[in-house]
Every structure is written in C-alpha cells, then in structure tokens.
Amino acid sequence: MQVARPPRRPIRVLPPNVAARIAAGEVIERPASVVKELVENALDAGASRIRISVRGGGLHEIRVSDDGCGIPADELPLALQRHATSKLAEDDLERIETLGFRGEALPSIAAVAELTIASATSDAPVGRQLTVRGGRILADEPIAHPPGTTVTVRHLFEDLPARLAHVRNTRAEMAEIARVVQRLAIAAPHVRIALRIEDRVVLQTTGSGDRRVVLSELYGPTLASSLLPFGPLKIGDCSCSGFVSSPDLTRSSRRHLHVVVNGRWAQSRTVLALLEAAYQPLLPRGRHPVLVLVITADPAAVDVNIHPAKLEVRLRAERELGQAIAEEVRSLLARTPRRFTFLEATPAIDPVRAAIAETPRPYDRPETEEPILTPAFPPLRLIGQVRERLLLLEGPAMLLLVDQHRAHERVLYERLAAAHPSADDTVPLPEPLVIDVRPAYRDRFARWLDELAAYGFQAEPFGPRSFLVRTVPALPGVVAGPPELQDLGQPAALAPALLALLEESEDAWDDTSWRDRLLIQLACRLAVRRGRPLARPAMRALVQAWGATKTPAICPHGSPIVLRVEDETLAHQFDW
C-alpha cells in the first residue's frame, strides 16, 4: 500500500499575527505565566509597590498595577511590538541585569488575550492607554494616571479552545498564581506586593527589605521561629546566604525550595540536586525543608537565556558552588535538635490561685560532676535516664531528651563509615565469630569478603558453608572503646545483621546505596537497646561520644535523636 505524498508547499515568512501566537505558546502557558511576566516588568521598572488582582482563575481578568518609572506616551506602542525592550542598553546578552530582556511578554500576551496598558511618567501631565487584541490596536486614548503602569488582561485564551480546555480548573490556576507571586515576593523583599483573588487579599508583604520578615508574612510566624540562617559564603565570584527551616518544620514537596540568583527566582538543577542529597538523610523520608538560597554573582557568570519562561539558570562553577552550599546546610541541620512543643497550652486551673502564685525560689543542687563538653553542644549536665530509653540532659536555657539507642547508632554508623582496615582500627576477637550461611548464599558471601575487609571485618572461609570473622573495627560500646561503654551494645547481633543483608536481591548489590544500607543495618543491630538501664558513667560516655559526631541531631535512618525543650516553653506551660 502506497502512502500519498503531501503536496509540496513553498517556504514563506509567517504573518506577524501567526508568529506572535506561536511565540506566545512558549512564553504564556497559563494564567500564572501572565502574572509572572507582568510582575517582573514592574520590578524592572523600579516599583516599590505592586498590586495584583485576579478573577476567574486568571482567565476572566488579571490586573497588575505598579508605581514604577512608567512608560513615556510616545514609546507605549513600541512596548507592544515583539523584541522591543528598554532593558538591553548595549545589546549585551552576556551581562543581563534585569528580569526581562527579550521584549516578548506584552506582545505574547496580546496575541492570546485582550490587553489594556495604561502608563504615565512623573514628568508628564497625562498618561496614555492602549487596548490591543490579536495584534490590532482597538483603542488609543489619553488617561489620567499616576506615575507607573497598569496592565489589564481579559479573556485569556478565548480564541484558543484547545489551550482553554487545559486551564478550566480555576482553583488549580489560582493556587499556581499564588505560588508564583510568593516566589516573586521572596526574590524582591524590598517591594510591597499584594495579591487579591476575587476581591479577597490572599497574600501581602510589607516591603520591609528583610527576607526573614517576608518569609514570616508568607508562611506565618511559626516558620519565622524555625528559620536557621546560613552564610554568607564566598565561592569564587559568587556570594551565597539564606535560610533553611529546622528539622521540626518540613514539607511534603520540593515547591518550597527557593533559589534567588541576582534577584531572579530561578532553578539551578545541579545546585538543587546537591542540596537534596545533603538534607535527605537528615529528614524523614519524602520530606523537604523550606529553604531560601540567595546567590549574588557577576552577571557574566550567569546564563539566564536557557528557558522560554526564564525559570532556569546556569552558573559558572555550578558544582563547586552547590557542594559548598550543600555542606553548609547539611552541617546546620545535622547539629540542630528538634524542638519539643506541647499540643495545647495548659490553662490556669484556678484564677485566684494563679494571682497569688508562689514566689520563685532558687533551687540549689550540689554539683558533683563536671559538665559534659562536646563539639556539637554547649556544656551539658546529665540528670539521668528516663524510662530506660532516654537520657535527660540540662543545658543553658534548655533540656535535651536523647534517645539512647539512636545516639549509640549514630556513633557506630560514623565509626563504621570512617573505618580504615589498619592495625590501629581493627580489634581481634577473643574467639572467632562463626557465620553459617545457606549453601545458596556461600558464593555470594565469599564475593563479599573484600567489601567487609574495607570496613575492618577480616573474614575467611571455614568449611563447606561457614565463615570465620577474626577481626572487627573498633566499635565503642560493642568492641573496644571507652571502658565505661563496655558491653553496652549487642556484639551477638553481628552475625544476624550480615545474614539479613545476604538475603537481599543480588541486583541491589550494584546499587551505590548498598554500602550505606550495610552500615545502617550494622549500626542499628549493634547499638544499645531501648529498655536497658545504664550506669551513670556509661550514660556520660555515650553522651560524650554522641556529641562528637558530625550529625548528632538525626540517626542514620533519618529519625530524630534529640528533642529540645526550651525554658520559655516550660515557663509558658507552667505559667512561671
């Protein structure tokens, strides 16, 4: 069966209105794209206040007003022509310092909607207003307008039924518009931004210039109290700083990871991937922090012209930059204990008794022990063991509750991860440990011997289906380590831990995470159990070893090791 050839058509230049609609398909994907482009224009105009109003999910009407420099009346028609812009003074695409630069936003919007633009400058007695649809000017008239610009977009995608069918869910479009405005507000904390949807204010910032204040206005005061600042870091030509939420406050999606490069909210895939790899082991599975990373770089070192919507950037020395930031965030989260909070405030039982409350008295306890000094925490005083599973510590203006199993697990995990098979790092067992494996697993275990040797486990075949483990790494509380920790862990669990890993699919052995699973499995099974009473010297030695780890706040599984109860929390609950 022969397929008929399509008739040959001559090559021709497309009409301007068709070319405009094709270009608009790349720039204007949905109502939120319109809001983004118009607000970025307002920011480039030097606005200190921007008001956004949306109706019908942005399909019926979008209005953006600003108090920027305005557009002179004689230049207003030019602003609606494709690739006409005031933002490239010297036609230099290597040093872009504005959010917009292509001159595509207004003509692209006018190609798929009815657009009305009114603008005035401070030195003109009257402004000018144009209404455009489908590339044709429908109205041109003078207007009384304060300095600045107002753009109104109506009937978006009305002439594009296929595109309109994909954006009929107005609730989803309103949520996306709010997200876009939130990102722009984070990138421009010095600008007062208000978003109204169906005449209801859903987002508003004060333009204080303080990014922490803006985050509090957008996310609420709970986030503000959980923000951990980091930086500034100097990496090459770049300066980096920002905020990350403490492990107490996480989100289920990556939408709250904000990267601002030279005032532009954007995404750097390399930097974000390195950041996620750094924080993932420290947070519960599937959770992400609220993070704001602000990067200031030489414009020549930033490529912003790689995405139709300008949502991605590439940076010079991007990997080195991402690694330095990721290590800073990892270290910060790793050393931040989770905060203990009560579900409800406890009301005063009797108002009369509360009014004549006792006068606080100093409570003196004889100090018989030196404070415990560690790199990760301020001086701590051991109070004791709680329910034979938690260690209670007192520090400056706080109490710490430490899970004894997870703390020991963290010590063992980091010791295994840093193990080197040298004479100083390995300990010969008084009696070799015999591990019996099923015949089907004997060859697999034999291939595993080199991996075990890299961590200090010296093993050899012994008979048809057994192996002898003669040396193991020095593991505090399990084998060797401080005498106070002797017999703290579970050395008998070593053989079951290794056998459990043998039963994994052999395909998983090629996975780069297999070695980490090996270390986590060993650390978890060998660590001291919950429910075991500990002598006071053992508790002190365990706290000392745990406080010297790199990641004392989170166990290798990503669960919290320590909870912080602050004095102000206790004072509030007890009405002190």
Architecture of domain 220-334 in this structure: 2-Layer Sandwich (3.30)
For the chain, residues classed under CATH 3.30.565.10 are 16-88+98-204
Residue 196: the pLDDT is 96
Owner of token pair 């991996």 = 451
Residue 267: the pLDDT is 85
Residue 8: the pLDDT is 67
User: Bridge partners of 120?
Assistant: 148
Instruction: Please state whether the predicted TM-score (pTM) of the whole model is above 0.85.
Output: no
Residue 433: the pLDDT is 83
What is d(CA 380, CA 399) in angstroms, rounded to the nearest whole number? 9
Residue 354: the pLDDT is 41
What token pair was written down for 382?
């051991």
Question: Whose CA is closest to 398, among 558, 552, 209, 571?
Answer: 571
State whether CATH 3.30.565.10 applies to domain 16-88+98-204.
yes
For the chain, residues classed under CATH 3.30.1540.20 are 337-342+370-576
What is d(CA 121, CA 70) in angstroms, rounded to the nearest whole number? 5
What is d(CA 413, CA 421) in angstroms, rounded to the nearest whole number? 16
Residue 527: the pLDDT is 92
3-state secondary structure 463-522: CCCEEEEEEEECECCCECCCHHHCCCCCHHHHHHHHHHHHCCCHHHHHCCCHHHHHHHHH
Residue 325: the pLDDT is 94
What is d(CA 236, CA 269) in angstroms, rounded to the nearest whole number? 19
CATH topology of domain 337-342+370-576: formyl-coa transferase, domain 3 (3.30.1540)
Residue 411: the pLDDT is 93
User: What is the C-alpha end-to-end distance of the chain, expressed in Å?
Assistant: 91
What is d(CA 209, CA 522) in angstroms, rounded to the nearest whole number? 50
Residue 23: the pLDDT is 53
Residue 32: the pLDDT is 93
For the chain, residues classed under CATH 3.30.230.10 are 220-334
Contacts 24+ apart (CB under 8 A), 480-486: 480/427, 481/545, 482/541, 482/544, 482/545, 484/535, 484/537, 484/538, 484/540, 484/541, 485/538, 485/541, 485/542, 485/545
Q: Quick check: helix, strand or coil at residue 63?
A: strand
Question: Whose CA is closest to 496, among 521, 477, 475?
Answer: 521
Residue 364: the pLDDT is 41
Q: HSE-up of 445 (CA within 13 Å, CB side)?
A: 28
Hey, what amino acid is at 557?
H
Q: Kindly give, in sequence order, each residue whose CB lies less than 8 Å from that of residue 90, ignoring residues fewer than 6 positions away.
A: none
Residue 92: the pLDDT is 57
Residue 298: the pLDDT is 87
- 10-residue mean pLDDT profile of the chain (576 residues): values are 66 61 63 93 94 94 95 90 69 69 80 93 92 88 94 90 78 93 96 95 94 92 87 88 91 92 90 92 87 91 73 84 93 86 51 44 54 92 94 93 95 83 68 83 81 83 86 83 80 77 59 73 89 92 93 88 89 81
